[in-house]
Amino acid sequence: MPDFSDSVWTRPARARTGQPTLSREQIVRAAIELLDAEGAAGLSMRRLGARLGSGATSLYWHVATKDDLLELAVDEVMGEVYVPEAGDAPWRIGVSVMAGGMRAMLLRHPWVIGMLGVRPTIGPNVMRMSNRSVGLFSAAGFTGPTLSHVHSLITAHVIGSATTEAAVSAAVIRSGQSAAELRKSLEPFMEKAIGEYPEYAKWREESGVLEMEPDKVWDQSFAFGLERILDGLELWLAGDKGETE
What does the pLDDT look like over 146-160, one tens digit per residue? 999 999 999 999 999
**Reported pTM:** 0.88
Give the model's confidence band at 13: pLDDT under 50 very low, under 70 low, under 90 confident, else very high: low
Summarised one tens digit per residue, pLDDT across range 190-201 is: 888 888 899 988
CA-CA distances (angstroms) from residue 128 to 80, 123, 125, 211, 215?
12, 9, 5, 42, 30
Task: State the Cα–Cα distance between residues 7 and 63, nearest whole angstrom.
Answer: 12
CA distance 208 to 205: 7
Residue 32's pLDDT band (cuts 50, 70, 90): very high
**What mean pLDDT, rounded, does the chain reach?**
88
User: Poorest-confidence range of 64-68, 83-87, 90-94, 237-241?
Assistant: 237-241
| Segment 35-84, tens digit of pLDDT | 999 999 999 988 998 888 876 667 777 788 899 999 999 999 999 999 99
Report in angstroms the alpha-carbon separations of 244 from 112, 230, 239, 240: 31, 17, 13, 10
Q: Which residues pair with 212 in a beta bridge?
A: none
131-138, Cβ contacts within 8 angstroms, sequence gap of 24 or more = 132/83, 132/84, 132/85, 132/86, 133/83, 133/98, 135/85, 135/86, 136/83, 136/84, 136/85, 136/86, 136/91, 136/94, 136/95, 136/98, 137/91, 137/95, 138/86
Summarised one tens digit per residue, pLDDT across range 97-113 is: 999 999 999 999 999 99
- Residue 177, number of CB atoms within 10 A of its CB: 13
Answer with the residue of higher pLDDT: 13 or 243. 13
Say whether pLDDT at 245 is over 70: no
